Amino acid sequence: MSIRVVIADDQALVRAGFAALLNAQDDIEVVGEAENGDQAVRRARELTPDVVLMDIRMPVLDGLAATRAIAADPKLAGVRVIVLTTFELDEYVFEAMRAGATGFLVKHTEPADLVKAVRVVAEGDALLSPGVTRRLVAEFAAHAKPAPAAALSVLTDREREVMTLVAEGLTNAEIAARLFMSPATARTHVSRILVKLGARDRTQLVVIAYESGMVRPGWQ
């Protein structure tokens, strides 16, 4: 079954390029396009795609507001947003994550990396552009409004271990190897953590981990 994608960008040439690249893949299908954030939200509601490639700077409604609208709609709980921007050090990187974006990429990302990003996010993992370092994310998180550490009291010790590794960017397989468990067990732990904390996806777990002080800014 193909991964269904909506492309939201105010430049027709960019949309056409992304669409050609993604439609050339056997497992990916571009099902819709949008030239502004308002259209992106409407396309998401009409088509319920697996992934939305969302330009962060668009007219009518910007990508940040559109991402927030998609993330807030219960009917779109399965829709994952990858935010795209021209500038790697965009001030909205962390805000996009807080708004509900699952991935972040710069537009000059290599074609193969864009295709990989769509697949990774569709599978439920979080993703940042290779050029956007963990240190950068930590810097944004350091200036975010703190969340009470008590919010994590619902987690078991093992779940806290798993969440810390999620915040460090490890995949389920890597978490499993680090904690000497099966990937299926790691996946189960992550799923339970998401439910307990009311988080939409792994990216929001990263946000919560930073805001609660579970992970300190500056690690790499």
CB under 8 Å to 151, separation ≥6 — which residues? 197, 208, 212
* Nearest Cα residue to 41 out of 85, 5, 76: 76
Q: What is residue 201's predicted lDDT score, i.e. its pLDDT?
A: 75
What digits encode the pLDDT tens for the residues 142-171?
A: 655 555 555 688 899 999 999 988 877 777
Q: Rounded to the nearest 10 degrees, how much is the dihedral formed by the CA atoms of 156, 78, 83, 109?
A: 90
Q: Which of 132, 161, 190 finishes a domain?
A: 132
Q: Dihedral sign for Cα 109, 115, 120, 123, please.
A: positive
Task: Kindly state whether residues 108 and 198 are assigned to the same domain.
Answer: no
Residue 31: give the domain boundaries.
3-132
Q: Residue 220 — pLDDT band, cuts 50, 70, 90?
A: very low
For residue 50, the 8-state DSSP code is S
Is the separation of the CB atoms in 183 and 172 below 8 Å?
Answer: yes
CATH at 192: 1.10.10.10
| CA–CA separation, 214 and 23 (whole Å) | 41
Task: Kindly state whether residues 54 and 119 are assigned to the same domain.
Answer: yes
What digits encode the pLDDT tens for the residues 75-105?
A: 998 899 998 887 655 466 777 777 788 888 8
Task: Kindly state whether residues 162 and 95 are assigned to the same domain.
Answer: no
Structure tokens given for 5:
């994608």
Task: Kindly state whether residues 103 and 159 are assigned to the same domain.
Answer: no
What digits encode the pLDDT tens for the residues 38-83?
A: 999 999 999 999 999 999 889 999 999 999 999 989 899 889 999 8
Place of tokens 């949309």: 15
Domain count within the chain: 2
Q: What is residue 88's predicted lDDT score, i.e. its pLDDT?
A: 57
Burial of 195 (0-12, 13-18, 19+ CB in 10 A): exposed
CATH at 128: 3.40.50.2300
pTM of the predicted model as reported, rounded to 2 decimal places: 0.70
Computed on alpha carbons and rounded to an integer, the radius of gyration of the chain in Å comes to 17
Q: Which of 78, 109, 132 finishes a domain?
A: 132
Residue 206: inside a domain = yes
Is the separation of the CB atoms in 210 and 219 below 8 Å?
Answer: no
Residue 216: inside a domain = no
| CA–CA separation, 178 and 91 (whole Å) | 33
Q: Which of 27-36, 56-65, 169-178 has the highest mean pLDDT?
A: 27-36
Q: What is residue 216's predicted lDDT score, i.e. its pLDDT?
A: 58
* Nearest Cα residue to 85 out of 28, 139, 136, 30: 136
Q: What is residue 133's predicted lDDT score, i.e. its pLDDT?
A: 44
